[in-house]
Amino acid sequence: MKKTKIDHYTDKEALDFHSRNKPGKIEINSSKPMTTKRDLALAYSPGVAVPVRAIAENPDSAYDYTSKGNLVAVISNGSAILGMGDLGALASKPVMEGKAVLFKRFADIDSIDLEIDSKDSNEIINSIKNFACSFGGINLEDIAAPDCFIIEDKLKEILDIPVFHDDQHGTAIITTAALINALDISGKSINKIKVVVNGAGASAMACTNLFKNSGVPQKNIIMVDRSGVIYQGREGLNQWKSSHAAETKFRTLDEAISGADVFLGLSVKGALSKDMVKKMAKNPIIFACANPDPEITPEEIQEVRDDAIIATGRSDYPNQVNNLIGFPYVFRGALDVRAKTINEEMKVAAADAIAKLTREDVPDEVVAAMGGDRPHYGKDYIIPSTFDPRLISVIPAAVAKAAMNSGVARKDINDFEVYKEQLKQRLNPSVTIMQGINSYIKKNQKKIVFADGEDKNTLKAAIAFKNSKLGIPILVGKKEKIIERIKEIGYDDHFGIEIINSTDSKKREKYVNYLFKKMQREQGLLERDCDRLVRNDRVIWASCMVACGDADGAVTGNTRRFGASFEKVTQVIKARPGEIMFGLNMVIAKGKTIFVGDTSVNEYPSSEELAEIAISAARVVKMFGFIPKVAFVSHSTFGQPLTSRTKHIKRAVEILKNKNVDFDFDGDMQPDVALNEEYKELYPFSSIVGNANILVMPGQHSAAISYKMMKSLGDTKVIGPLLIGLGQPIEIAPLRSSTSEIINLASVAAYSADVIDYEKN
């Protein structure tokens, strides 16, 4: 069981992240067009009066005419912020915004964070009661006990929408799922096990309640707080602790743990000792979930037991108990049936669904999302990955069905198979692409040269690349200048990244010799010309490092135009044999991922070149886990109108037909025909119409204009351009790329380096 160091960031980086562009992490966008005067009249006055009257007559129609049905309020008073304690309502806002982002990212749920500046539970209850009609659900967060119990219980009484305190129930659902599978693997029965719960806060009590509702007898559970075992007759217990008081002679954790089958820790570092672990029953189940440091580390457990099943709250060990597996999907299912509440049946159904999903064979698309790992059900895999794309279709469906069966749903789902497909469509599959690539490259780390080492964004990217364990960065630049930049962005000079430049005479001589042998006949350069190139140009130097095997890949370009960097790179490294070089951009917009080429190399590709671009693009898109569907786009559709500019596109299609390629393609067609399903009925003979995910553009000008307009004007994310067809993995970042964009390109370079190594072997 391998442990890795958790990522680190400077305070300045975290602050810069939250303040960059628009401050904060969320914004509100209109879901309807707001272009014309008529649009505004429909959206507001006088058109808005119509749905107002409809809702006044039938309040349930608010689900049809407003965003209520997909809107969750994320609420805190800041009294228990992420283990930091009571820092106040306003200080909790970054956390609540973050929660809202997670709702959207993982379950396509819109959220608004609301921080209530009060410690009075009644005042908080009244505040929420008075604005609750605006929302489809309420998510309580970071509210200290016992107020969190009081607030949730009362709101459940008075509101007819789901109220969910994630600190309690999210943890409980995931932990119960892990327990179900751990018992299955260890061959133990849930109604016979002895459980010890260390900790008596909100999470511990919710877990204990769900354990009981899942089949653990109450008499078989002992809960321990700071004062020892919570036993019947102990003085000073509040009503919540009293409900978990056990009839037992044990008074300490050390006594209670003897013979226990399960230890659940939601307490503090070091609470469970190795001697205590020795006393547990055969095949013990140990969930040490204190954060950031568990009650006992997996390494310590393994020193004294080789039969234990272990889970923690950390991402750097197997079996992470992470609420992210639960709360977005539980709310998704509850909202979709307009549930009045989230009851115990729905929580048990969620836990069972998560447990069953873990036991299924992991399909290829999940393997890609997890970076090439194909986990198998067993001691080190009792909970799915947070990035498992199957979660969105499995958990909400189970929750929705339980809501219907238990009588709290106000809307039925007639066909659950159709519903599951609809759920899958809510998430853009590309959101897992970089996660999958990053998970993959962490296992086989490559040396990646960051050629523009003195540039701040490049420097931040290199540090993040190293700290995230994505690979081994190498910076090209003057050491003094880089150290100065390091201090400017909030680090000291002990960041542990190799800095290299042309003062390294041994390497300089090596690269000059390489270039001279390569270029003396190709370009008629003298040895002193090559020496001047190596000494004076960081891109040449970085490319030589890759070409000569001193690095596995490189990223450059952030301080100069793409064409200038491309010219330098291709002086050193040529195209892959039999391939054309071109730029391919991954464009992510409105739930779709589209690959666009050629965006940066070939000004006006010939028919043969267009066909080769399609073949290479399809190869790359497959590598990213997509099924390639190629559209050759134009200002015409299937020859209408036929002009001199469309003939070579139609010829490219014919060339591909003669090559018998293993992917679907068609053209010529306009971009809207390629992307919009509405055109399918007009062109039923084409499988590409409305389905394309690769757009082969007729020229570099149209490709570059298209993706840059989308990036600048639309809600669009762009990764690239990826330099396809180059003989070595070097990526060129567009001028003034962000830190994240540079990291993505460095990751792609590392991934490509591993693919090239595989192809060589």
Active site residues: 44, 99
Q: Is 187 helix (H, G, I), strand (E, B) or coil?
A: coil
Q: Which pair of structure tokens corresponds to residue 565?
A: 């960097």
For residue 53, give both structure tokens.
């009257």
| Cα radius of gyration (the chain) | 29
Residue 549 Rama label (left phi>0; alpha psi -120 to 50; beta):
left
| Phi, psi angle pair for 112, to nearest 5° | -125, 130
The CA-based dihedral angle spanning residues 684, 690, 694, 698, taken in that order and rounded to the nearest 10 degrees: 80
Residue 339 sits at the vertex; the CA angle it makes with 335 and 340, to the nearest 5 degrees, is: 130
Q: How far apart are CA 437 and CA 7, in angstroms?
A: 17
| Nearest one of 83, 114, 81, 117 to 100, comparing CA atoms | 114
224-259: string of b/e by CB count within 10 Å (b at 16+)? bbeeebbbeebeebeeebeebbbeeebeebebbbee
**DSSP codes joined into one string, 487-551:** HHTT--S----EEE-TT-HHHHHHHHHHHHHHHHHHT---HHHHHHHHHH-HHHHHHHHHHTTS-
What lies within 8 Å, CB to CB, of 435 at 6+ separation is 369, 371, 387
CA distance 350 to 417: 17
d(CA 539, CA 561): 12
Provide the CA 361 distance to its chain's centre, in angstroms.
22
Tell me how many degrees the CA angle 519-524-529 measures, rounded to the nearest 5: 75
CA angle at residue 335 from 331 to 336, to 5 degrees? 120
Q: Distance of CA 456 to CAs 484, 486, 559, Å?
A: 10, 8, 10
Q: Give the three-state DSSP class for 215.
A: coil
